[in-house]
């Protein structure tokens, strides 16, 4: 059970967009109006994320093409990180690379080992337009990179190659939400979000399942 103040109590759960929805493969637009509509969107995003038992959610996952994401995510030491970012920019992704388990609320039931940097820093704004900077390591760094990918039209499967990608595709084709035409096309439409080069470690103690 999550402890402490939980946002989203006044929000409404919105339908989740699944792989095959064009909006998931389209880069989102910058937010220019930091008013009541943005605050309402963020509340709805929290409500939707919690209802889906996720640790993060990007606006385009509920059909809103704006650069916003929310998160309620532990790190590898089980410290809770709760917040939102508007117009986020991934300014640092470095350290070792770990192929930890990762999933996505827009590809429900699917999970595969996905390489991510162990440290990430994201800069952006809060709902009232105040500048903010969020940094994370381990699992939380994975979450931050995952959500930034979403806002650029990327999916975690874009980082998966070789046997892992083939196995994930076979599993996806068996999923009840899979549509041979649209989902297959979206799967193959890699957003070219390369993880870059670095030291790839086989695993990380305490790594947990990511779904965002």
Residue 211 — very low, low, confident or very high, per pLDDT cuts 50/70/90?
low
Residue 105 lies inside a defined structural domain of this protein = yes
**Cβ neighbours of residue 47 closer than 8 Å, sequence gap 6 or more:** 8, 9, 11, 12, 13, 14
What does DSSP assign to residue 135? E
- Residue 10 belongs to a domain: no
Read off the pLDDT of residues 27-39 as tens digits, 9 standing for 90 and up.
Answer: 999 999 999 999 9
How far apart, in whole angstroms, are the C-alpha atoms of residue 153 and residue 162? 22
pLDDT for 109 beyond 90: yes
Q: How many folded domains does the chain comprise?
A: 1
Q: Is 159 labelled a binding residue?
A: no
State the pLDDT at residue 8: 84
Asked if the structure places residue 119 within a domain, the reply is: yes
> What's the pLDDT score for residue 141?
97
Partners of 112 in beta bridges: 102
Please give the residue range of the domain that contains residue 110.
Answer: 22-211
**Is the entire prediction scored with pTM above 0.85?**
yes
Q: What is the mean pLDDT of residues 119-142?
A: 97
In a domain, 11, yes or no: no
1: in domain? no
pLDDT computed for residue 210 by the predictor: 53
58-68 pLDDT, tens per residue?
999 999 999 99
Mean pLDDT, all residues of the chain: 89
CA distance 52 to 186: 22
Least confident of 5-9, 174-178, 180-184: 5-9
Cα 36 to Cα 33, 41, 43, 60, 126, distances in angstroms: 9, 9, 11, 19, 13
Domain of residue 198, CATH code: 3.90.45.10
Is residue 5 in a domain? no
pLDDT value at position 189? 83
146 among annotated binding-site residues: yes
Q: Find the angle CA(123)-CA(143)-CA(102) to the nearest 5 degrees.
A: 155
Report pLDDT for 5: 59
Cα gap 118→95, rounded to integer Å: 5
- Which residue has better confidence, 11 or 38? 38
Question: Which member of 43, 102, 147, 211 is catalytic?
Answer: 147
With 60 as the cut, is the pLDDT of residue 185 above it?
Answer: yes
Q: Is residue 12 part of a domain?
A: no
Specify whether 29 is catalytic: no
Residue 14 lies in a domain: no
Residue 28 labelled as part of a binding site = no
Q: Is the pLDDT of residue 13 over 70?
A: yes
């Amino acid at each position: 059970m999550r402890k402490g103040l939980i946002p989203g109590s006044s929000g409404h759960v919105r339908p989740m967009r699944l792989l095959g929805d064009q909006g998931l493969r389209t880069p989102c637009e910058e937010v220019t109006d930091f008013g009541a509509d943005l605050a309402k969107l963020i509340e709805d995003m929290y409500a939707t994320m919690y209802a889906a038992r996720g640790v993060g959610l990007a606006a385009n996952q509920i059909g809103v093409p704006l650069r916003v994401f929310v998160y309620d995510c532990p790190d590898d030491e089980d410290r809770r990180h709760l917040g939102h970012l508007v117009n986020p920019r991934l300014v640092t992704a470095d350290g070792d690379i770990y192929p930890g388990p990762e999933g996505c609320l827009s590809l429900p039931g699917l999970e595969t080992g996905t390489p991510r940097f162990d440290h990430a820093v994201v800069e952006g704004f809060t709902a009232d337009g105040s500048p903010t900077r969020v940094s994370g390591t381990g699992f939380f760094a994975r979450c931050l990179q995952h959500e930034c990918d979403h806002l650029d039209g990327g999916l975690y499967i874009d980082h998966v190659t070789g046997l892992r990608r083939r196995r994930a595709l076979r599993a996806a084709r068996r999923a009840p939400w899979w549509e041979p035409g649209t989902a297959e096309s979206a799967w193959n439409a890699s957003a070219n979000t390369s993880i870059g080069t670095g030291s790839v470690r086989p695993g990380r103690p305490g790594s947990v399942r990511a779904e965002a």
